Amino acid sequence: MKIENIKAQMRKGVLELCVLGLLSKETMYPSDIIRNLKENDLIVVEGTMYPLLNRLTKDGYLAYNWVESNSGPPRKYYEITSKGEELRNELAKSWSALSQTVNFSNSLNISENE
Amino acid sequence: MNKIEYINLGGIPLAIDLDASEVLQSYLHELDDYFGKSDYADEIINDIELRMAELIEESMGARKVANMADVQKAIQVMGRPEQFDQSGDSSTSHAREHQREEAEYRRKLYRDTDDKMIAGVCSGISAYFDINDPIWVRLAFVFFTITGGAGVLLYIILWAVIPAAKTSIDRLRMKGEPIDLQNIERMVEKGIDQISDFADKVSEKISKKKW
């Protein structure tokens, strides 16, 4: 297995949580979400986002409104639903537990190596 | 000079070079294949089309017509379908590759105007029947011409009936190769090579005359 693959797997797992987290602060349209995630190296290609947003919307975690724009056709503004907020809390809990465990086991290894 | 096309990409009207439009179309075809026929596929593809239009417009800046570089840049940002599930999930990508091999690409009979003696009838026929060298078909025509003259008549009829392979997609169909982005890009690049070869020759001639 390539290192890049492992890293990609890691990112993939937290992508939903990141999207929900971003949207819990403000409503955004896909380009905003993508820019945010790209700046933080969470996604490599934009195409990843569209199926994800669609799935989250289909499952009722997100909703969108059509908003007229000055240039071009109306755009979808995404917002988080109450169901999505629940999912975010749930995922955030398991993430912090997971990151603690991962960091802890890594720090053990480092001290052993020393 | 380059022909242009007007397209509607996710609701945004765009003027685009013909070759760039071909590459864009086949990219959108790839997306269609990737997302399949679910109820939500159309919606996802619409969203992506809109974003592609934005990216292309961004790259165009003040220019009025989108070119190949704009399209390729947008595709790079959006990514190829196989990059979408970042995990590189081997099971699905293998299945898809397999499908690709299985799929039959129906050949169509065209005249191969890139490799012609007269009008590309023989080279087109040999591409259709997967004959390595068009010389055998040509010899057959010569043979029928010598023994009664039917070859000439047949050639003229075929010339009139068989369309020339004009676009990159035609040329792929002619050879029975899958019509996907990589192949079309390859064809387009080949075309550009030919044009630049031609330009080289012309400029050579001009410079010779001057001396």
Q: What is the DSSP string of A17-56?
A: HHHHHHHHHS-B-HHHHHHHHHHTTS-SSGGGHHHHHHHH
Kindly identify which residue of chain B lies nearest to residue A3, measuring between CA atoms. B87
- Tell me whether residue B42 is in a domain: yes
Pair of tokens at residue B176: 């029975």
- Tell me whether residue B37 is in a domain: yes
Give yes or no for residue B90 having a pLDDT over 70: no
Question: Distance between CA atoms of A98 and B113, rounded to whole angstroms?
Answer: 63
Contact B83 A44 (CB under 8 A): yes
What is the band of A35 on the pLDDT scale with cuts at 50, 70, 90?
confident
CA-based nearest residue to B42, from A38, A50, A104, A75: A50
Average pLDDT on A3-28 reads 85
Quote the pLDDT of residue B128: 87
Residue B47 with chain A: CB contacts under 8 Å: 30, 50, 53-54, 76
Quote the pLDDT of residue B87: 42
Chain A positions with Cβ closer than 8 Å to B: 2, 5, 8-9, 11-12, 30-31, 43-48, 50-51, 53-54, 58, 72-73, 75-76
Residue A31 with chain B: CB contacts under 8 Å: 51, 54
- Tell me whether residue B47 is in a domain: yes
Architecture of domain A3-113: Orthogonal Bundle (1.10)
The domain total for chain B is 1
**Is beta strand B12-17 parallel, antiparallel or unpaired with respect to B4-9?**
antiparallel
Sequence-distant (6+) residues with CB within 8 A of A55 are none
Query: Per residue in B101-128, pLDDT tens?
Result: 444 467 888 998 888 888 888 989 888 8
The verdict on B50 touching A (C-beta cutoff 8 Å) is: yes
| Residues shown for chain A | 114
Higher pLDDT, B1 or B59: B59
Identify the helix (H) or strand (E) that includes residue A6.
helix A3-25
> Domain extents for chain A?
3-113
Instruction: Convert A57-90 to b/e letters by CB count within 10 Å (16 or more is b).
Output: beeebbbeeeeeeeeeeebbbbebbeebeebbee
Kindly identify which residue of chain B lies nearest to residue A1, measuring between CA atoms. B88
Contact B79 A48 (CB under 8 A): yes
Contact A31 B51 (CB under 8 A): yes
Kindly identify which residue of chain B lies nearest to residue A50, measuring between CA atoms. B44
Sequence-distant (6+) residues with CB within 8 A of A51 are B35, B44, B84
- Tell me whether residue B74 is in a domain: yes
Quote the pLDDT of residue B75: 92
Which residues pair with residue A77 across a beta bridge?
A65
- Tell me whether residue B193 is in a domain: no
Count H helices and E strands in chain A, helices first: 4, 2
- Tell me whether residue B144 is in a domain: no
- Tell me whether residue B44 is in a domain: yes
ipTM rounded to 2 decimals: 0.79
Q: Which of A6, A46, A53 to mutate against chain B (most B CBs within 10 Å)?
A: A46
Sequence-distant (6+) residues with CB within 8 A of B80 are A45, A47, B30, B181
Q: Which of B12, B84, B91 to mutate against chain A (most A CBs within 10 Å)?
A: B84
- Tell me whether residue B185 is in a domain: no
Q: Which of A45, A67, A76 to mutate against chain B (most B CBs within 10 Å)?
A: A45
Average pLDDT on A69-93 reads 87
What is the band of B95 on the pLDDT scale with cuts at 50, 70, 90?
very low
Task: Name residue, tokens 């199926």.
Answer: A51
| Greatest extent of chain A over all pairs of C-alpha atoms, in Å | 60
Residue ranges making up the domain that contains B12: 4-102
Quote the pLDDT of residue A5: 78
Strands (DSSP E) along chain B, which ranges? 4-9, 12-17
Residue A2 with chain B: CB contacts under 8 Å: 88
Q: Return the amino acid letter for B137.
A: V
Residue B77 with chain A: CB contacts under 8 Å: 45-46
Kindly identify which residue of chain B lies nearest to residue A7, measuring between CA atoms. B87
A-B contacts at Cβ under 8 angstroms: 67
The verdict on B91 touching A (C-beta cutoff 8 Å) is: no
Question: Which three-class secondary structure state does DSSP give residue B4?
Answer: strand
Average pLDDT on B78-87 reads 74
